[in-house]
Structure 1
Amino acid sequence: MFPICSFWSAMLPPSNPDEIRKARGADSRPAARFEPYQRERESDGWDIPEEERLLRTEVTTELARSIIARNQSPDIPFDRSVNPYRGCEHGCIYCFARPSHAYLGLSPGLDFETRITAKPNAAQLLAAEIGRKSYKIAPIAFGTNTDPYQPIEAKFAIMRSCLQVLHDWNHPLTIVTRGATILRDLDLIGEMATRRQIVVGVSVTTLDADLSRQMEPRAPAPATRLRMIRELAAVGLAVRVMVAPVIPYLTEHEIERVLTAAAEAGARTASMIPLRLPLEVAPLFRDWLERHHPGKAAHVMAKVQAMRGGRDNDPRFGSRFRGEGIEADLMHQRFRLARKRLGLGRENEVLDCSRFAPPPRQGDQLSLF
């Protein structure tokens, strides 16, 4: 029986030469792992040129039945989350969320970044779920699977409407993003920051704009993410810089530089995660390496496997976000020393849950105290 990573590497289909994959991370559409059939492109011998087609983002809407997802993972510091979208247009080649598209019968490759599902009723469901008498308050995490501030949020404003609900209910939340659209919501974020009800983590993978453009083709440039940290900090927000993922030989040497730039921009805390390559992400990332950095590909993967027990990925609780072995220990030691030297904290501030209450309705008599 073949290891899952070797199986999927062999199953990567060739890219479609008639598609213009401008600003896309993946190069093909490997079949989802639950699909019974694989696809291969084969010439039929007719030399008739097909019309080239620019790959555009397709957005479908889904009327969700519930919106708060629960988890009991010992690796994650939250027990509930909300994801306004499925798929992510940023197209980050290393994104650990790519395999989730397989549950929709779609490819974790190009489909993940070109076929997005939006949940326009997310805010209404959120208000209904936190308004139940049985609801027990705790911070809700956004951006745990796909980025809530990806490009289509500028049009759909689903995250904005969810943020408004939590603002009105005095409900704390955390956000992980690399999307500059979050700056649109500084009015709500600033108010919640003064109440100690929000923490935002901004992911900064590299300061190299060319490398960022290759592996995060539709995400904001590194300079824009530092500006995001600066503007979020200016409204009193406790911003966390997330150096994630750290990729051996490609971005590992930038750990100290990224932390320094983020601290100068106003970040208060910092975290780091070594590269993870679950399920279909491993062959997609290997293919990307061979296309963009063929001379470094073997070195990158050798070091990844040295941190993952000899495999492309180690899904075990306790090690999946950290890695193991000498290479992982040295990476974390460098990070800790730089974080301490720059005065960046380790933990986020404790969010205030004490003010949680339904917003006043029209006609309600307001309390005098």
Structure 2
Amino acid sequence: MTQLSNSSHWQILQVLAEGVLGVDHSGQVTFMNKAGLTMLGFDSEHEVIGKGVYELTHRPANYSSSNGTPNEVPGCAIINALESHHPIEDQDEFLWRADGTILPVCINAAPIFDEQGQVDNLIVAFQDRSSRHAIKQELILQKEALQLERRLFIGGPTVIFQWQMVPGWPITYVSPNVFSVLGYKPQDLIGGAVIYPQLVHPDDFERVSQEVEYHRSIGSEYFEHKPYRLLHADGSYRWVYDFTVIERRQTGSDYHSGYLVDITKHKETELALARSEHRYRPAQSVARFGIWEWDVETQSVYWDAETLRLLGYDAQEGILMDYSEFISRVHPDDRQALEDAVKSVFANPQQDSYTLQVRGQRPDGGWQWIESLGKVVEFSQTGNPKLFMGTVKSITKD
């Protein structure tokens, strides 16, 4: 086999897809192939020949040398290989480009020794790893996000479950915070000492089972259960919100994974409000007064069914509207008085209520005189009204 000439060597280097450069014993660049120049953003070899490799590829702020060797070379794989006389293989490194941006690379380097056994040159090959670095960074961010989500879930009222879709719904995983939410140890649920279907309230079990079968039959990937009750270890029941993902498998039984959120306090408040409304509705109907609510932040106004009936609407339920729609239902001649009353409360929060007589629009286009009492029941952190509530009653006015 004949030895390749220097010209042949150079031609081979020029067609390589990876960057190749040479460094002499003093740390100065002796050559760089076309791929290397392109990666680092140089137009020609003249821009790099004779330059200190550390100065060229790392740009240290404290760079100072008389012979091309930097005073400090922290983290420079090329200089470390030159000084240690040891080759490097597949080492990740960051090199500066000519425009000041940074290029992630993988470096391989091999020293070339002279007859006295001293390092004469160092041949360095480097590959662009921008895509790999970006993927690696994305994986790191995803891992951090998953760790954060896990901490948030496990530290709060949300319990993560996985169970197998076979009779008895055996649990294969449950997050540790199930003990603080439902009072059971994870190993009791996973080991089968506690059977999940037996925890579902008897009045809810049939509905929960039907929801599971329905979503499986229509091919749902995920679904939400209507709130249902689970038996706590102390004998009480907890209301939960259940979000489930169906994991269909080609072999073996399917799995359901999801999370439960303890919504007991919210549900109890909701039920208490419903009972309260049921109690006062007969008296409200006899006294002929309606109830309204205005959320200043969302600009939404709620009229209950009795308010609508006072205005002549055949209503069984209340309606939610935005503030502009609410104003449109007030007689044009009365709108300014209403706006002024509201503004006075905003201007003087200590005056947290008002009483006003205005005309509300009936479904036939006519107008009904009503008396509205409004009161601020919640203030924002800045002290401004946040939530108004009030009553409406029909009045006769000549």
Query: TM-score range with shorter-chain normalisation?
Result: under 0.3
Q: Which has the higher contact order (CA 8 A, sep 6+)?
A: 1
- Structure of greater Rg: 2
For normalisation by structure 2, the TM-score amounts to: 0.18
Q: Larger strand proportion, structure 1 or 2?
A: 2
For normalisation by structure 1, the TM-score amounts to: 0.19
